[in-house]
Structure 1
Amino acid sequence: MQFIYYPRCSTCLKALKKLKEQGLDVELRDIVQQTPSQEELLHWIQQNGQGIKPFFNTSGKLYREMNLKEKVKDMSEQEAALLLSQNGMLIKRPILVDDQNIYIGYQKEIYEK
């Protein structure tokens, strides 16, 4: 199981704490130092089945500075995955990936299972 997070994000740290409390062994991956590749993101977008919007950190400073709210609507999955792969701070976090599932953002009910 892979846990992709930003080490200075309090929500990510809260999610990581929940995983550790349950004794789960996760591979940690810093979203800035090891930004997911375009190929990984495309795979996750298709695996998730909810389009590209859930992958964008819409509350992030960079998202707002780049005025992506309007631009994302017209992006293809390829374009979105390329943009996200170029800057990890644009990606919603944390991301929890196992063999069959991907969970984007902190969802309390998921992390307490």
Structure 2
Amino acid sequence: MSIIMYEYPKCGTCRNAVKYLQQHNVSFEDHHIVEAPPSVEQLRKMVDVSGLPIQKFFNTSGKKYRELGLSQKLKEMTDDEKLALLASDGMLIKRPLVTDGKKVTIGFKESEFETNWVAQK
């Protein structure tokens, strides 16, 4: 499977991640996270592969997250409800979200991108 990056073009962190991969000649498939967010099943697989709790996939600094009061509501929600919520609105997902089906990175840290995407090409 090729590398897929779910990103939001207006997001500075996403632009930095795209630039980093391009500078290191790493090819990837670009998906607009708002226009085409990952499905519940895609998210479920990414959560499983990452080994991280679903909460790590939420953009906790986002306006939408705060507007919906999710810091409190998530504690009461099931994993299926959390996945459905993430899949319903790409602005709720921490970005960029990058996967090749075997690995997942959330957000952009050069060291993680080096290890997971650049060194693996």
TM-score bin, normalised by smaller chain: over 0.9
1:50 and 1:94 mapped to 2: Cα distance?
16
1:105 and 1:78 mapped to 2: Cα distance?
22
1:99 maps to 101
Q: Does 1:4 align with 2:31?
A: no
SS of equivalent residue, structure 2 residue 53: coil
Which residues of structure 2 form unaligned runs of 5+? 116-121
SS of equivalent residue, structure 1 residue 50: coil
CA displacement at 1:74 relative to structure 2: 2.3
1:76 maps to 78
TM-score, normalised to structure 2's length?
0.89
Task: Let me know the Cα RMSD of the aligned residues.
Answer: 1.0
Maintained 8 Å contact 2:49/2:101:
no
Q: How many residues align?
A: 113
TM-score, normalised to structure 1's length?
0.95
Q: Which runs of 4+ in 1 moved over 6 A?
A: none
2:7 and 2:47 mapped to 1: Cα distance?
17
1:103 and 1:112 mapped to 2: Cα distance?
11
Indicate the percent of aligned positions where both proteins have the same amino acid: 40
Maintained 8 Å contact 1:6/1:31:
yes
